[in-house]
Structure formats: C-alpha cells, structure tokens
Structure 1
C-alpha cells in the first residue's frame, strides 16, 4: 500500500461564508474522523492536496496527516467533493485507521498480456475488476497482477486462483470469476 505525508492546519471557522473565503484564499476545508475520537476540522493548501490526491486516484493509500498542532493521524481518503465542470475540490473527508489492526480493502486487478484464446478468435470478458483482501493496511498490495497469456477459449481465472501475499487473506468468494475467454 502506498504511504504519503500531507501537512494540514486546524480549522476554526465554519459555515458557508467562511468556507467560501477559505476556498478563495486557495485552501480546502476537510475533516478527519474515526476510532472514537472527536472529528478534527482541517484545512489544506488546495494545490498541494489536489496534486497528492490526483497521484493516488483509485488506489489504496495511507496518508499521514502532519497537523500544525504537532499531532499526526494515519488516515485513508473516504470521500472527495468536487465540482465536475471546473475540476475544483470543495471538501475532503478522511477516516482514521489503525495501522496495527486488520481491515478489508478493495484491491484493483491489473490484467497483463494477451490471451491465447483471443488470438484464436475468442472474446475476453472481464467480470471483476477488483477483489476484497483483509490484512494490516501496510501489507495490502497496490494491485493484483493477473497474467492472462495462457488462457485458451473456455478458460477462466477465479479470485481463488490469484496470487495474494501470505500476510493477507482473500475476502471475496474464491469462486468469483475475474476474467474468462469465451467462444465467439
């Protein structure tokens, strides 16, 4: 799993007007919550936050928030609110996680190669693009590589056939088909 650090400042203003002024000043409001702690209102430099989140888009990542009061929180991105037209970030929600407790994560599948069956006229059908794995957050892989080259027409790869690290367990049904090559 990817690990990055971000700097944040505590936020003491709330409401529509103060948030508009905050955004106009190049800052993005956010909140960090979880583990029975009180929610912590934060603010980030919009440019820095946007660049970091674009790099992490669609991937599992643990962010270490270094807050200006001297504290740190390990979080994952829970939700981003943005304007789809202007590509502008309105708000970010971060959920705190414990690096020493197992959790379930969705891990994307990365298909590599061209199946033999496709070269002979078969049709490649991707049925699952991610699997669920349980383990310590830092043990979860960024993705799970699936080599499809040896697949002939009529062959399939199920979730149970995928190679996952020993330190994590498969939560998805082992019989779930991830990819198959079907006759035309």
Structure 2
C-alpha cells in the first residue's frame, strides 16, 4: 500500500473555549427516580473517577441542554461546577457518554469521568476527515479504519480532535497512525502501522455475455420423385 501525501494532512485542535456544566447532587437512583427528574426538567447523570466514588448528579436542562446538544463527539474535556447545599466544587472531567431517547432524540443521561489535571491520562481522540479524496472523485470507496486514536498525556495538551486532510488520497494510498503528528508531550499509544484511512478501487461489475444462438434454416432438398410429381400436376392442369 502506497503512502503519498505532498501536503500536510493532519491538524490537532485544542479546546478554544472552556465548557462548563452546572450540576447538583441528586438523591436516589434508579429508573423511577430518573423518570421523575426528567419530568421536572433535569437530566440525570453520574460523575465517577479513579480516585472518587460514583456521585449521582442532575443537570438543569435549561442551563445545560444547549451545550450538550452542540457537542458532536464524546470524550470532550470540560468542567463541572457541582453544587451541594450552599457549597460548590469544581471538577475537571471528560464527557464520556451522552444517552438519547431513540424516538424523541432527547438527552436522557450523561456520564462524566473525573480527570487529574497534572497527571498523564489516557484518552481516545476522535479523528475527523477533511476534504474529498482524489480516489473518491474517480469513483473510489473511502474506508475509515480508525475513528478514534488513543493517546496519553497531560490533560491540557491533549487535542479535542485530530483532523486528517484526505484530499491527496488516491487508489491504494493510505494514512497510517505513524503519519499523525501531535504535540511532543502527547504520545500515541496505537500500533503505528494501523491504517487510519484509505481509498479502495470500485468493484468491477462482471457482465456475463449472453450467448446468442443463431438459428440457421437448413435448405430444402427437392428429390427426383418430387420433381416428377410437380410435372404431372402441371400436365393435368393443361388438359
């Protein structure tokens, strides 16, 4: 497989604007409690981490719904201002999962993972493809093998997304994990030979040629007896 990329094909994007969620500790767990919270205008959630016990939380849909709706990828780094009575505690977190109602498409639950700001963490960063490849322009099929790349580093150095420019990809070309360049402090912990994206040639359709059998009529054979019979018929008509 060939790798040819005259232009830069990767861009890392750090978070330009801090995302902050406002949450409260909720009392009780279970489906019935969650259903009542949703009816009251809250989104149930959970905050957990390696150094804390899971904390059931609730987010006011009016305060947080718009932010959640505009987040397209998971593993988004953010802050949670967690209120309990009159106290407020701030956590650095990763938004691990957003659950939606399959019919109404409403957010029904969120999971947050607490991070340590000054310690290395392992995260999966979404891969976003930019542009249209040369191979696709010719009818090829784009195959994205990796949609996330696992990395390790200090939280503030880890990019939010990795954008990969695919405009120069032609048939048989590929971008591998080792082609992705990130800040020196961030380490990619994937097989460097893994294919991130490639372009396949379109499958050739085999058209079976129908065999057309020619029907050849055999010439009629006129025998001597037939000739004599026709001669007699003509003579009888004359008489």
TM range (shorter): 0.7 to 0.9
Residue 21 (str. 1) matches residue 36 (str. 2)? yes
1:36 counterpart residue number: 51
1:12 counterpart residue number: 27
Q: Distance in 1 between matches of 2:58 and 2:175?
A: 45
1:112 counterpart residue number: 130
2:70 counterpart residue number: 55
1:77 counterpart residue number: 95
1:157 counterpart residue number: 175
Residue 103 (str. 1) matches residue 125 (str. 2)? no
Residue 65 (str. 1) matches residue 83 (str. 2)? no
Shift of 1:174: 0.6
When Rg is computed on C-alpha atoms for both structures, the one with the higher figure is: 2
Q: Distance in 2 between matches of 1:106 and 1:178?
A: 14
2:217 counterpart residue number: none
- 1:140-181 deviation line (CA, Å, top 9, x unaligned): 112222222333332221110112222211111110011223
- Say if 1:71 and 1:177 are closer, same or farther in 2 by CA, change over 3 A: same
- Say if 1:38 and 1:133 are closer, same or farther in 2 by CA, change over 3 A: closer
- Say if 1:101 and 1:87 are closer, same or farther in 2 by CA, change over 3 A: same
8 Å contact 2:77–2:160 — kept in the other structure? Answer: no
Q: Distance in 1 between matches of 2:32 and 2:47?
A: 21
8 Å contact 2:74–2:98 — kept in the other structure? Answer: no
Shift of 1:182: 3.4
Shift of 1:14: 4.4
- TM-score, normalised to structure 1, is 0.84
Gaps of 5+ in 2: 1-13, 203-239
Shift of 1:122: 4.4
2:11 counterpart residue number: none
Number of residue pairs aligned between Structure 1 and Structure 2: 184
- 1:112-153 deviation line (CA, Å, top 9, x unaligned): 233334445544332222221111122111222222233333
8 Å contact 1:46–1:89 — kept in the other structure? Answer: no
- Say if 1:165 and 1:12 are closer, same or farther in 2 by CA, change over 3 A: same
- Say if 1:111 and 1:80 are closer, same or farther in 2 by CA, change over 3 A: closer
